[in-house]
Amino acid sequence: MHTVAVLSLKGGVGKTTVVLGLASAAMRRGVRTLVVDLDPQCNATACLEPDATDKELGDVLADPRPEVLSAAVAPSAWGEEVDVLVGSEDGELHNGHHPDEEHLSKLTTALSRLDELIADGELPYQLVLLDCPPSLGRLTRSALVAADRAMLVTEPTIFAVSGVQRAFEAVQAEREANNPRLQPLGVVVNRVRPRSHEHQYRIEELREIFGPLVMPVALPDRLAVQQAQGACMPIHQWGTPGAREVALAFNLLLARTLRAGRVDRSAELDDFDDEEFEEAAE
């Protein structure tokens, strides 16, 4: 199981869009995925449309026992490969600064028990995507403590670039303080318009700051993303030229994410050989 925290410390840059796009690409590849909706806005939960659950994220953070976790996880409406740990608006109650650092480990404790949820004949989760709120409260910090890798999301604008710098610093701080295995996966630039000189300038600025951590594939600004989300559909199933362009970018991001997981834990993804990674763009 490879756990990736997807974060930005600036709202509105498309963080949840990246989570949903990766989940869509993972479903296409047959990678069983759990989306953990840590954002109290619950946009990922709304788009994935799971059935009603007896428990939600807030209940899991208050009491991370396996039976509570099981009651908060539901299949998405997208397909059997994608499940959701359902978000809740009252998750904001868990987002304050608590003096007891032990509270940061409750999400880690819960996720460590995911295998206990797997029924006979089901595949284990191969990918866990943590959709963080756009702030450095306890929810985001809990995600960084639980994650193997951190994916930073930004737009090619001056304020978003500043936000991703703060997010990178937060990843480094959490790695030093609580999670030595945490590594940055990369910086995803979202909503790029190739003909915009301002966008190209900001992308070059990001490359000067973060070097090879800036993902070689950027996500183009296409109306199809909003259309697919509005219809609560995976971007890979939307079918327009714009959707296919965005889906291709997410295939490449997923390939890089899974490759990082193989480095961290090669036995977990033995069924994905090098040829399949090369086929991600097809």
pLDDT at 276: 39
pLDDT in tens, 150-164: 999 999 988 888 888
184 is written with which tokens?
């940055």
pLDDT at 34: 97
Q: Spell out, as residue ranges, where the chain has pLDDT lower than 70.
A: 91-102, 263-282
Closest CA to 20 of 40, 2, 3, 6: 6
pLDDT at 211: 93
pLDDT at 94: 67
Predicted model pTM: 0.90
Closest CA to 3 of 144, 136, 199: 144
pLDDT at 162: 84
Distance from the Cα of residue 250 to its chain's centroid: 12
pLDDT at 278: 40
Distance from the Cα of residue 177 to its chain's centroid: 22
CA distance 255 to 156: 23
180 is written with which tokens?
């030595």
Point out which residues pair with 151 in neighbouring strands.
6, 186
pLDDT in tens, 206-255: 999 999 999 999 999 999 999 999 999 999 999 999 999 999 999 999 99
SS (H, E, C) 159-207: HHHHHHHHHHHHHHHHHHHCCCCCEEEEEEECCECCCCHHHHHHHHHHH
Rounded (10°) angle between helices 15-29 and 223-230 = 80
